[in-house]
Structure 1
Amino acid sequence: MSSKLRPGVRALDTFLKANPAMSVARMTNEQLQRAQTAVIPDGGVTSLFLGKLQKGVDVRSTTFAARHGDLPLRIYTPQAWSRTARPVVLNFHGGGFVLGSARQCDWSCSIVAKELDAIVVSVDYRLAPTHRYPAGLLDCVDALQWVAEHAPDLGGDPGRIGVMGDSAGGNLAAVVAIIARDDSGPAVAHQALIYPVTDMTEALAEDASYLDNTDRGIVLSNEDMEVFQDFYVTEADDLTDYRLSPILAPDLSGLPPAVIVVAGLDPLHDSGVRYAQALADAGNEVTVEDFHVMPHGFVSFPYFSVSARPAMDAIVASQRAALY
């Protein structure tokens, strides 16, 4: 399988495997705590890994009063003047519900802000294991409510809200879209799910992409996924609950148009495709963008992954069709 890797991805995978602190399964408790509290610096070496903020986009940080207390947000606004209110895209970062921050999505969020001409609001939801399920999900639900209420203050249109997320963030985006439908709002008009976590049950382990990853383990190992899940949920949680496994929602009809990005060398590939099929079977509009020689997380490393930019182009095109 390693022969399929493009040079940039191979270099990234080699670096990650050589550094135990880059794998949650190999982290010590002290390394995990440092990773969760680290502040990603602007510019420098970090930008070589995560990509740069796009020119023509302003970014600022703020907080709002969520149900548990103040919740940080990172807001991206196009510098170009607009005579009309812009659509708003609410973003949830990846990291297995355990790692990551809104800052790591500067590249992708600023692309959406600039090329869609949208306001992008990225959420620093609470992380496990200190804050287990459903803490992070509740933060994301609260953020959707806040965005709907404050969109005009941001120059946005509360009637044109999309959600976007990668990996664990893709799970949160999918679940938030279902909750918004069931709670009669705020209305979500589009969902962009990037290699999302859609199934936390044992069915995941039966997917060919998961089984193939047992020996391959590119970027994200099966062991990493198990540790992430153990940190996020407890034995008392029902993994068949749609708020953990959205693919098992009793009713998937009436959801917003979706674009689902999957990666061929990702253990989550097949479950992402299964979710797309379930949405389509329920009568929803769904587009699958399958990048066959990419690993999990490839959009987060745009200078190592030749398909990162095409993936973002596909996402923006789908968002434009739904939000304009």
Structure 2
Amino acid sequence: MSKLKLFAIIWAMVVAIMAGFLYTPLPEGIEDPFGAIVFMAFWKILVRYPQLTREFFGQGRYLDNLEAMQIHIFQEDEMRPISSWFGGLNVTRSTIAGVPVIVYKHWDDEDADLRPGFVYFHGGGWIAASADVYDWTVYDIAMRTGVVAINVDYRLAPQHPFPAGFDDVVSVTRYILRHGKKFGIDVSRVGVAGDSAGGNLAAATALHLSKMSSDLPQLKYQVLLHPVLQGLTFRLPAHLDNAETFPILYAKHIAAFASIYLGLGGRNGEFHGTIFFENHHVSPEFRTKSKYAKYVDEKNLPEKYRTPKKTAPIINDSHNETIFQRIKSLIVDPRFSPLMADDLTKLPPTMVVVQKYDVLRDDGLLYAKRLRDSGVETVVHDGKGFHIDHLKLAPEFIHSKTGAKAVKDVCKFISRITRS
């Protein structure tokens, strides 16, 4: 056998093995299979396989190693954000109300009228990622809409459990509403946005500010992308149907993230993830008979999503009383679970982005219905994609089409609302 043939065979084997490692089985009906496969390949390389490697070498199981997911790349003051090299915007680091941020301003701001403001809170389950991970995404939205964007690097659990992250994002938002002119922002046209846990923080911030009597301008809008909005139940149809659909976020993961954010510690993720996912973190009576039960009633979902497509595993109806007593008041605190708030009437126009194959799909849909029932202008983008597929990890030509559609709709919404 010639050396060339041997090389070709070895190369083919390497490609086949890599393809097997990077391939993710897709659910039937997903809109952009290629984009999903590419996104998941990036995710596995950057996040999932490093975690599995740690587990293999005895550094602890994935959910017991969540602190290792705290990605703080290029955070030093002397390091420029990646998007500062793209051109088009003046991208700089700053500190607002003691919180690190990345600011995206347009080069002509000194000569132009004040621009709308956009305060973004990154995802990562309250325990991972950073403003830098979302740098490209926020840059893209700022370029498309003409806003001055503030990308907030709030504190993370388990070192800083609830309400530390919430306090940070509220402090930054309040500062922008009061002093936004320093950044070229029209304070009457400021909105908040975020995805996943960041969507939770955006919703909680908007809700908190809507209830405060102050001289601050009201928020102009909120954009909630794939938000987690409650922790009362982790057995909604989306939790069950998409429990392990995409490795970017399993149902057991978000359950563990919630437990850590609520202060149960970062070394028992597997245990707490199971307790929460099986709804053993609250008593059955509290979950089904309290005044909050109606907010997670599956009847409030669109008809096509009310019944799980997959048979739910049978679990006993017990609960962990120790955990329940520790989180009983927190689990329904609107600062953690905006869906549990009694009054949503004063919230600004809202866009909610959900994707069919996302474990958090139903949180967004339940909240959207409550907002509409409360008289709040609400736009829902109901796509056929997956969790945080709007996140830009690669050039546009291999960006998920479902995520690109969502970003396009978000930009249209922001442009329309800020012009009114």
Give the alignment's TM-score, normalised by structure 2.
Answer: 0.68
Mapped to 2, the partners of 1:162 and 1:131 lie a distance apart of: 25
Bigger CA drift: 186-195 or 123-132?
186-195
Question: Do the aligned partners of 1:73 and 1:102 also contact (CA within 8 Å) in 2?
Answer: yes
The answer for the alignment partner of 2:349 in structure 1 is 257
CA distance in 1, matches of 2:89, 2:383: 28
Q: What is the deviation of 1:15?
A: 5.7
C-alpha distance in structure 1 between counterparts of 2:120 and 2:74, whole Å: 18
Q: Aligned residue for 1:317?
A: 412
- Counterpart in the other structure of 2:104: 76
* Alignment correspondent of 2:36: 9
SS of the residue aligned with 2:62?
A: coil
Mapped to 2, the partners of 1:51 and 1:311 lie a distance apart of 21
| CA distance in structure 2 between the partners assigned to 1:138 and 1:301 by the alignment | 27
In the alignment, the residues of structure 2 paired with residue 26 and residue 279 of structure 1 have an alpha-carbon distance, to the nearest angstrom, of 39
TM-score by length of 1: 0.87
Question: Identity of paired residues, percent?
Answer: 30
CA-to-aligned-CA distance 1:46-79 (integer Å, 9 cap, x gap): x9xx9997541121001133xxxx3101101122
Unaligned runs of 5+ in 2: 1-24, 76-80, 264-322
Cα separation, 2, equivalents of 1:15 and 1:96: 19
Q: 1:222 to 1:288 in 2, by over 3 A?
A: same
In the alignment of these two chains, the number of paired residues is: 310
Partner residue of 1:187 out of 188, 201, 218: 218
Aligned to 2:93: 61
Counterpart of 1:200 in structure 2 is 231
Shift of 1:93: 0.3
Matched, 1:297 2:297: no
Q: CA 1:223–1:3 in structure 2 vs 1: closer, same or farther (change >3 Å)?
A: closer
* Cross-structure match for 2:371: 279
How far apart in 1 are the matches of 2:238 and 2:221? 27
8 Å CA contact 2:353, 2:380 repeated in 1: yes
Match of 2:70 among 36, 41, 46: 36
Shift of 1:274: 0.8
Q: Which residue of 2 aligns with 1:96?
A: 125
Task: Identify which of 27, 40, 63 aligns with 2:62.
Answer: 27
Distance 1:22 1:76, change over 3 A: farther
Match of 1:268 among 360, 373, 377: 360
Tell me, yes or no, if the aligned pair for 2:118 and 2:149 is still in contact at 8 Å: yes
Post-superposition CA distance 1:94-144 (Å, at most 9, x none): 000000111122222112222211110011100000100000000011001
RMSD across aligned C-alpha pairs, in angstroms? 2.7
Separation in structure 1 between the aligned mates of residue 406 and residue 27 of structure 2, nearest angstrom: 22
Amino acid in the other structure paired with 1:61: R
C-alpha separation in 2, matches of 1:221 and 1:52: 33
Could you tell which deviates more after superposition, 77-86 or 172-181? Answer: 77-86
Distance 1:96 1:155, change over 3 A: same
| CA displacement at 1:10 relative to structure 2 | 2.2
Q: Distance in 2 between matches of 1:315 and 1:186?
A: 22
CA contact under 8 A between 2:352 and 2:378: conserved in structure 1? yes
Q: Is the 8 A contact 1:53 1:107 kept in 2?
A: no
Contact 1:20 1:26 in 2 (8 A): no
